[in-house]
């Protein structure tokens, strides 16, 4: 059929009616009246407004981003033994509001038990729990000695919830199928190497998904990311001490007796935590520094508190977490300069 013939054909009203009927039937076929996961009849227009997305087990293995404001179903790979909600969904639940539920293994949409309320166990991010809690509390006016809660209000308060929404799932297992809705994109992935960083985030941070400690400094990849250390550098802050020596118990927190892997000079006394090359102007010139005045052969001074980099305050060393190690009122840096002035050699 030539374009001229199509043109002539389209001038006939009957053709337009037939075309409209055909398109109408196609539209009805693609947008059938359906029930949602809770068994409610869905409004087709509403359904199209919020997109649906399914992630297969293989996609979850390599890591994916759950889009915001979408209905998302994901299947957990069978080889997962157990994974916490926090690791599976990227440990930002205190900032991101998300909620969802996992279907029971024997889920049957025709079974009335499964369509009453939610068809599975619920999980809510910390931020979502806080939001719902605030909402719940705001439903009741402030109580006082003059207006104690009614019996009904008291029951709702005591049950911890006046609805069926309650956090139930904290540990996920292989083979689970879950639904989730989030208000911000969420990294979803497995954690093969058990370093608390899921496969999506390992890709994002360029760490090795099959090595729990990519940079070999003793601190697991996920702990480093959570704490703001660099998971690809043994010595995140270039002070000579590797992260696992500074964070002695390797838990990502600066506990008593530990220097900070993110600060070159934890006690701010002018001397770096470990042992550093100092160039003109007192700047630290480390193996990672690439400024033009920090080149091999340039005159440097070596200075620092833990000169043998073993994490201990040995004889002739000062403490990286005390600005005045010996408590004589003279700061550690001034002691260093006094030592130089006295022409000693082990400063
Ligand atoms: Ca890893
Ligand atoms: Ca590490
Ligand atoms: Ca360091
Ligand atoms: Ca210091």
Per-block mean pLDDT, blocks of 10 residues, the chain (347 long): 46 46 39 46 58 96 96 96 97 95 78 64 92 76 72 68 69 95 97 97 97 98 97 94 97 97 95 89 68 71 92 94 95 92 88
Q: Could you tell me the distance, in angstroms and rounded to a whole number, from the CA of residue 259 to the centre of ligand 3?
A: 8
Q: 131: number of CA atoms within 13 Å, CB side?
A: 14
CB under 5 Å of ion ligand 4: residues? 265, 267, 269, 271
| For the CA of 241, the nearest ligand | 3
List Cα–Cα distances, 133 to 93, 97, 156, in angstroms. 15, 13, 12
- Name, in order, each residue with C-beta under 8 angstroms of 327's C-beta and a sequence gap of 6 or more: none
CB atoms within 10 A of CB 253: 11
What is the per-residue pLDDT for 347? 84
Across the strands, what pairs with 182? 98
| For the CA of 265, the nearest ligand | 4
Q: Could you tell me the distance, in angstroms and rounded to a whole number, from the CA of residue 80 to the centre of ligand 2?
A: 23
Q: Is residue 261 within 8 Å of residue 255, measured between CB atoms?
A: no
Q: Could you tell me the distance, in angstroms and rounded to a whole number, from the CA of residue 319 to the centre of ligand 4?
A: 7
| For the CA of 321, the nearest ligand | 4
Q: Could you tell me the distance, in angstroms and rounded to a whole number, from the CA of residue 297 to the centre of ligand 1?
A: 37
| CA 191 – CA 202 distance, rounded (Å) | 9
Token pair 């620092």 is found at 304
| CA 312 – CA 341 distance, rounded (Å) | 26
160 dihedral zone (left: phi>0; alpha: psi -120 to 50; beta): left
Q: What is the pTM of this model?
A: 0.74
CB atoms within 10 A of CB 188: 25
Which of 184, 181, 185, 186 minimizes the C-alpha distance to 50?
A: 181
Q: Could you tell me the distance, in angstroms and rounded to a whole number, from the CA of residue 330 to the centre of ligand 3?
A: 25
Q: What is the CA radius of gyration of the chain?
A: 31
Q: Is residue 204 within 8 Å of residue 64, measured between CB atoms?
A: no
Q: Could you tell me the distance, in angstroms and rounded to a whole number, from the CA of residue 339 to the centre of ligand 1?
A: 45
Q: Is residue 320 within 8 Å of residue 309, measured between CB atoms?
A: no
Q: Could you tell me the distance, in angstroms and rounded to a whole number, from the CA of residue 240 to the centre of ligand 3?
A: 6
| CA 186 – CA 15 distance, rounded (Å) | 49
What is the per-residue pLDDT for 112? 62
Helices and strands: H and E segment counts in the chain: 12, 12
Q: Could you tell me the distance, in angstroms and rounded to a whole number, from the CA of residue 85 to the centre of ligand 1?
A: 18
Q: Is residue 90 within 8 Å of residue 112, measured between CB atoms?
A: no
Q: Is residue 176 within 8 Å of residue 90, measured between CB atoms?
A: no
Q: Is residue 276 within 8 Å of residue 238, measured between CB atoms?
A: yes
Kindly report the backbone phi and psi dihedral angles of residue 189, in degrees, each rounded to the nearest multiple of 5, phi listed first.
Answer: -175, 170
What is the per-residue pLDDT for 248? 97
Burial of residue 62 (number of CB atoms within 10 Å: 0-12, 13-18, 19+): middle
Q: Could you tell me the distance, in angstroms and rounded to a whole number, from the CA of residue 84 to the centre of ligand 1?
A: 16
List Cα–Cα distances, 326 to 14, 43, 164, 315, in angstroms. 100, 75, 61, 12
What is the per-residue pLDDT for 336? 92
| For the CA of 200, the nearest ligand | 1
What is the per-residue pLDDT for 103? 87
Q: Could you tell me the distance, in angstroms and rounded to a whole number, from the CA of residue 303 to the centre of ligand 4?
A: 10
Q: Could you tell me the distance, in angstroms and rounded to a whole number, from the CA of residue 243 to the centre of ligand 2?
A: 8
Q: Could you tell me the distance, in angstroms and rounded to a whole number, from the CA of residue 87 to the centre of ligand 2?
A: 17
Q: Could you tell me the distance, in angstroms and rounded to a whole number, from the CA of residue 231 to the centre of ligand 3?
A: 12
Q: Could you tell me the distance, in angstroms and rounded to a whole number, from the CA of residue 262 to the centre of ligand 3?
A: 7
| For the CA of 230, the nearest ligand | 2
| CA 6 – CA 228 distance, rounded (Å) | 65
Residues written for the chain: 347
Six-digit token pair at 189? 């992935």
């Amino acid at each position: 059929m030539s374009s001229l013939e199509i043109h002539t054909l389209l001038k006939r009203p009957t053709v337009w009616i037939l075309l409209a009927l055909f398109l109408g039937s196609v539209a009805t076929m693609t947008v059938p009246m359906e029930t949602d996961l809770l068994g409610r009849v869905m409004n087709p227009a509403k359904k199209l407004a919020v997109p649906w997305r399914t992630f297969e087990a293989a996609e979850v293995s390599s890591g994916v981003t759950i889009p915001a404001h979408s209905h998302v179903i994901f299947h957990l790979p069978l080889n997962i033994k157990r994974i916490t909600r926090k690791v599976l969904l990227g440990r930002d639940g205190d900032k991101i509001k998300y909620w969802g539920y996992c279907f029971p293994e024997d889920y049957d949409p025709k079974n009335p038990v499964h369509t009453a309320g939610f068809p599975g166990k619920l999980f809510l991010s910390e931020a979502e729990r806080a939001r719902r809690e605030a909402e719940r509390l705001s439903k009741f006016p402030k109580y006082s000695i003059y207006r104690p809660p009614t019996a009904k209000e008291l029951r709702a308060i005591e049950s911890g919830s006046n609805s069926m929404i309650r956090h139930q799932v904290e540990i996920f297992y292989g083979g689970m199928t879950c639904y989730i809705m989030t208000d911000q994109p969420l990294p979803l992935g497995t954690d093969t190497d058990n370093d608390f960083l899921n496969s999506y985030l390992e890709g994002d941070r360029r760490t090795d998904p099959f090595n729990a400690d990519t940079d070999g400094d003793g601190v697991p990849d996920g702990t480093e990311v959570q704490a703001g250390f660099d998971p690809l550098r043994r010595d995140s802050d270039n002070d000579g001490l590797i992260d696992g020596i500074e964070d002695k118990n390797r838990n990502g927190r600066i506990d008593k007796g530990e220097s900070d892997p993110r600060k070159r000079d934890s006690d701010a006394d002018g001397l770096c935590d470990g042992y550093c090359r100092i160039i003109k102007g007192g700047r630290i010139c480390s193996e990672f520094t690439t400024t033009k005045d920090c080149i091999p052969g340039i005159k440097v001074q070596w200075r620092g508190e833990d000169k043998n980099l073993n994490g201990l305050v040995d004889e002739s060393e000062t403490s990286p977490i005390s600005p005045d190690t010996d408590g004589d009122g003279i700061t550690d840096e001034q002691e260093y300069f006094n030592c130089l002035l006295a022409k000693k050699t082990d400063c």
